[in-house]
Structure 1
Amino acid sequence: MYQDKTLICKDCGNEFVFTAGEQEFYAEKGFENEPQRCKDCRSIRKNSMKTQKEMFTANCAACGAEARVPFRPKEDRPVYCSDCFAKMKDE
């Protein structure tokens, strides 16, 4: 049915294999285009698109420890450290 294909990466120019299993996966997902980048270049591209979240520091409302959170804490809402948040979630 499917056979391995050798493709050329459009970023680095190196050859890479588009395996029969990958082709089957692409077909199951309805993807019509073959990959244009090798695995390494896809990873580099994916990681470069991620943005670093700004982290904020607050004191945990339960234990008083310093907590780093990805949102700006508000004075009228409690903020919990990871441990206290997990304990509250389990209860």
Structure 2
Amino acid sequence: MPMRYTNRASKDLAWPATKTISPGIALVSTVPGLDTLGRISFGESMMIYQDKTLTCKECGAEFVFTAGQQEFFAEKGFTNEPSRCPACRAARKQRAGGGQRRNDFYSGPRQMYKAICSQCGSLTEVPFEPRGDRPVYCRECYSNMRARNYR
């Protein structure tokens, strides 16, 4: 995603956050700014990422932590390198049930509750426990109702 900088004339200039120098090497610059004379300058720090070979803590296999992956980790604020290879990460996720990620753990498949649609009367499943004080709709009736409300 390009970084944005607005100069004194209020024109947006797009600056690429990274530049690939060669396969396996990425250059990352800081946000540009103006010096005291109004000239555009890059910040003081630049980071160069190079592909790294890491060892999986689970299976012991070597895997490549690419420059692009390192850049992604840095953009997201991750400070630790991956400790498992892609195959072991996928297997671990699968063992956890392949559920949705919530608060840094995998919760497994979502629990569904049976209910009767308030509009058409059909039996349906919803991802929350119906309390009885509000109507519950099947997927089709809910979609139709939303479509009518957003016209």
Partner Cα separation in structure 2 for residue 30 and residue 74 of structure 1: 40
What runs of 5+ residues in structure 1 fail to find an aligned partner? none
Higher helix proportion (structure 1 or 2): 1
Aligned length in residues:
91
Higher RCO (Cα < 8 Å, 6 or more apart): 1
Counterpart among 60, 73, 77 of residue 130 in structure 2: 73
Counterpart residue type for residue 13 of structure 1: G
SS at match of 1:83: helix
Partner Cα separation in structure 2 for residue 84 and residue 73 of structure 1: 16
- Identity among equivalent positions (%) equals 56
The 3 A distance-change label for structure 1 pair 31 and 54 is closer
**TM-score normalised by L of structure 1:** 0.84
By how many angstroms is 1:38 displaced? 1.1
SS at match of 1:52: coil
Partner Cα separation in structure 2 for residue 74 and residue 27 of structure 1: 44
What runs of 5+ residues in structure 2 fail to find an aligned partner? 1-47, 97-105
**TM-score normalised by L of structure 2:** 0.54
Cα root mean square deviation, aligned: 1.6
Runs of 4+ with >3 A deviation: none
Partner Cα separation in structure 2 for residue 21 and residue 13 of structure 1: 23
By how many angstroms is 1:29 displaced? 2.5
Higher strand proportion (structure 1 or 2): 2
Bigger radius of gyration: 2
* Equivalence for 2:77: 30
